[in-house]
């Protein structure tokens, strides 16, 4: 997500690229660990990919539809803890050029931030493993405050006193969140999904800095 904010004191620009390592489907271990009191569900990599970008309560309903809501919530919480621990220790499949792109944007005067629908602790685990804390200025997620992505985009923009933004995401929900937040959008076409709208697209991460500069120079970053 790229933002340009202007105030009477300074000009800030913000990026939250929506770029994540692929989530390894290691929830299976947690499902088996709870076999005495949870209904066992076999999950595949495709199951996990199909719920990418959704909030955790929605994911729980899709993956464990036969469980009572309270049991479903407890199981999901355990899965998320295991996932965070796994990511912090092992990482994932990171898109090429993440650090270089972050640094290039920051060197050009942009701030780099992350807004996600993930669980609490996931972004932190990602930044810990890849040692990217020095490249990121702010983070927010559904797991922290139970707010939808559009609300959190707006929350971070307001928190950082920013006026113009471009969100970079890979699915329809990302685009809809950017519309709700009143910011621009760039489709990361190399990601998990498609977007049914006429929007700017990048096919590699390396294309991002030039497109961001062009959009924000032309005032296409929302408000």
| Per-residue pLDDT at 12 | 46
> Is 60 exceeded by the pLDDT of residue 24?
no
Domain spans of the chain, in order of start: 2-20+98-217, 27-90
> Is 90 exceeded by the pLDDT of residue 15?
no
Name the helix (H) or strand (E) containing 114. Answer: strand 110-116
Query: Per-residue pLDDT tens for 84-105?
Result: 999 999 998 888 899 999 999 9
Say what the pTM is. 0.83
CATH node for 2-20+98-217? 3.40.50.1000
CB within 8 A of 47, min separation 6: which ones?
A: 25, 63
> Is 60 exceeded by the pLDDT of residue 14?
no
Residue with the larger pLDDT of the pair 70 and 187: 187
In this prediction, residues 205-218 reach a mean pLDDT of 88
CB within 8 A of 210, min separation 6: which ones?
A: none
Q: Among residues of the chain, what percentage have pLDDT more than 90? A: 49
User: Which of 28-42, 80-94, 208-222 has the largest mean confidence?
Assistant: 80-94
| Per-residue pLDDT at 154 | 95
The span from the CA of 163 to the CA of 6, in Å, is 6
CB within 8 A of 100, min separation 6: which ones?
A: 206
> Is 90 exceeded by the pLDDT of residue 37?
no
Query: Per-residue pLDDT tens for 124-151?
Result: 999 999 999 999 999 999 999 999 999 9
Residue with the larger pLDDT of the pair 216 and 6: 216
């Amino acid at each position: 997500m790229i933002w340009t904010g202007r105030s009477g004191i300074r000009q800030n620009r913000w990026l939250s690229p929506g770029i994540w390592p692929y989530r390894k489907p290691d929830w299976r271990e947690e499902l088996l660990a709870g076999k005495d009191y949870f209904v066992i569900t076999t999950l595949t990599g495709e199951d996990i990919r199909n719920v990418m970008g959704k909030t955790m309560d929605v994911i729980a309903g899709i993956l464990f539809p036969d469980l009572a809501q309270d049991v479903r919530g407890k199981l999901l919480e355990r899965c998320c803890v295991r996932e965070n621990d796994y990511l912090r220790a092992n990482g994932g499949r990171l898109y090429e050029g993440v650090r270089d792109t972050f640094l290039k944007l920051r060197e050009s005067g942009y701030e780099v931030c992350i807004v996600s629908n993930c669980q609490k602790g996931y972004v932190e685990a990602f930044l810990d493993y890849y040692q990217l804390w020095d490249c990121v200025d702010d983070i927010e997620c559904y797991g922290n405050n139970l707010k939808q992505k559009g609300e959190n985009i707006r929350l971070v923009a307001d928190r950082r006193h920013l006026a113009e933004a471009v969100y970079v995401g890979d699915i329809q929900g990302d685009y809809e969140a950017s519309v709700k937040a009143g910011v621009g959008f760039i489709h990361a076409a190399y990601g998990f999904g498609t977007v049914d709208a006429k929007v700017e697209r990048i096919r590699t991460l390396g294309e991002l800095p030039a497109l961001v500069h062009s959009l924000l120079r032309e005032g296409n970053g929302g408000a």
